[in-house]
């Protein structure tokens, strides 16, 4: 899903079956050339007191769809999804105060059948996107995708990455020049001490330093092993997270599927590293569209910005809140260039399973919200983006 292709796998499989051709590279062999598997259900009718469903066969073109009696269908999950989609459509029509279709057990209204097919196709597309995200991620936590709100499918112009992607002309040196020789980094003078700061974590792998303090983790030149207590961010997300469609008009969001303890590392914020000048240009465009994915790397200077609009990880979908449950920290591991810190998000409190994850878009690795980076001069006046976080302490705008 991260690399556009001209023809989908399904289309190729359908063409092969239509022309009676085999192709092992796309899974069409002599053995399964004529196999029929229900992909989804398209329509419903009753004929002479017998129930029938219109079946879309997996890997076959729509022209081969057939009406099958209910008694022949061995797909309880698809039947349940069909029923749920029908119910959801009728509920939406009722909420919209439109004319509710009469309950007719003989056939479905065309609009209902069309909606059910769209939901089935969306479900398949989201499952493929979920599979692609999990193939590309390099951390332990699984990624799930869910949309029970509308017909929106996977984003068409988003590419999943696990680390910073430098724009042309920007060099990221990802190799440390020195490392520690500790046998126990928790008690000995380690990388943080060499950098003049405290070790960031306690024995429970929770962050113990105040916001605004940098994190220096052990790097690739250190002699300590992977179980070192000072290797937290580099291990990646440990929690299973779900990208879900919000019901309050904020697009996609991210929720945790497991309980997260307070002060725990949750995820990194990654994207394309660009210059501040380029960020200013893109910022005008994003503000006019009412979106924001720019994160200034202003730990010591403001030379670079991370843009997660097209390239990013799960953090791309994390929404803003004026009362967030995630806090930003600057992290240095192999790249010790203070102009290019890694951005880590830690929980500020216990976050329960099912709760949405949020961070304050105006927090740049410090405890204070600064407006210094926002230019209010008439020459560079930007469109203000209304905040929809709903928090009691909501400031009203994202910028």
202 is in an annotated binding site: no
182 is annotated as contributing to ligand binding: yes
d(CA 62, CA 60): 7
Residues catalogued as catalytic = 269, 361
The answer to whether 139 is a known ligand-binding residue is no
Confirm whether residue 16 is marked as ligand binding: no
Strands 252-256 and 241-245: antiparallel
- Block residue for tokens 């997300």: 237
C-alpha 331: how far from chain center: 22
The rounded distance, in Å, linking the Cα atoms of 283 and 286 is 5
Q: Which of 238, 194, 237 is nearest to 217 (CA)?
A: 194
- The CA distance from 261 to 247, in Å, is 26
Is 67 flagged in the annotation as binding?
A: no
Residue 387 marked ligand-binding = yes
388 is in an annotated binding site: yes
75 marked as binding residue: no
Q: Is 251 annotated as a binding residue?
A: yes
394 in a labelled binding site: yes
Residue 114 structure tokens:
């069309």
Residue among 353, 172, 366, 356 at smallest CA distance from 270: 172
Residue 361 annotated as binding?
yes
**Half-sphere exposure of residue 145: CA atoms within 13 angstroms, side-chain side:** 20
Instruction: Consult the annotation and say whether 228 binds a ligand.
Output: yes
As annotated, the binding site includes: 180, 182, 185, 190-191, 218, 222, 224, 228, 250-252, 319-320, 322, 361, 387-389, 394
Annotated binding site for S-adenosyl-L-methionine: 250-252, 319-320, 361, 388
Residues flagged as binding site for Zn(2+):
180, 182, 185, 190-191, 218, 222, 224, 228, 322, 387, 389, 394
């Amino acid at each position: 899903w991260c690399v556009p292709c001209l023809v989908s796998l399904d289309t190729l499989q359908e063409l092969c079956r239509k022309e009676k051709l085999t192709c092992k590279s796309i899974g069409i062999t002599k053995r399964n050339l004529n196999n029929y598997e229900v992909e989804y259900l398209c329509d419903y009718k009753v004929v002479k007191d017998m129930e029938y469903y219109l079946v879309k066969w997996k890997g076959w073109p729509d022209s081969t769809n057939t009406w099958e009696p209910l008694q022949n269908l061995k797909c309880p999950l698809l039947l349940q999804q069909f029923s749920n989609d029908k119910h959801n459509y009728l509920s939406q029509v009722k909420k919209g105060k439109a004319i509710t279709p009469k309950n007719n057990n003989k056939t479905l209204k065309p609009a209902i059948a069309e909606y059910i097919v769209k939901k089935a196709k969306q479900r398949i597309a989201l499952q493929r996107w979920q599979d692609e995200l999990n193939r590309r991620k390099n951390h332990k936590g699984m990624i799930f995708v869910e949309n029970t709100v509308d017909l929106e499918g996977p984003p068409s112009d988003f590419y999943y990455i696990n680390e910073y992607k430098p724009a042309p002309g920007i060099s990221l040196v990802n190799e440390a020049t020195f490392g520690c020789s500790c046998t126990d980094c928790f008690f000995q003078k380690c990388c943080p001490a060499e950098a003049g700061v405290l070790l960031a974590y306690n024995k429970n792998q929770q962050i113990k330093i105040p916001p605004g303090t940098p994190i220096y983790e052990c790097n690739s030149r250190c002699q300590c092993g992977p179980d070192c207590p000072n290797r937290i961010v580099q291990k990646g997300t440990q929690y299973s997270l779900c990208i879900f469609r919000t019901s309050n008009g904020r697009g996609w969001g991210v929720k945790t599927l497991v309980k997260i303890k307070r002060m725990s590392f949750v995820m990194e914020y990654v994207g394309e590293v660009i210059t501040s000048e380029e960020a200013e240009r893109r910022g005008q465009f994003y503000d006019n569209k009412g979106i924001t994915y720019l994160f200034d790397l202003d730990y010591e200077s403001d030379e670079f910005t991370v843009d997660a609009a097209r390239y990013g990880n799960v953090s791309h979908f994390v929404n803003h809140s004026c009362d967030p449950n995630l806090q930003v920290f600057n992290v240095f591991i192999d790249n010790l260039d203070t102009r290019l810190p890694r951005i880590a998000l830690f929980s500020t409190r216990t976050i329960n399973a099912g709760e949405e994850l949020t961070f304050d878009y105006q927090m740049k690795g410090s405890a204070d919200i600064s407006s210094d980076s926002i230019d209010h001069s008439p020459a560079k006046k930007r469109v203000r983006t209304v905040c929809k976080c709903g928090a009691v302490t909501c400031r009203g705008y994202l910028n």
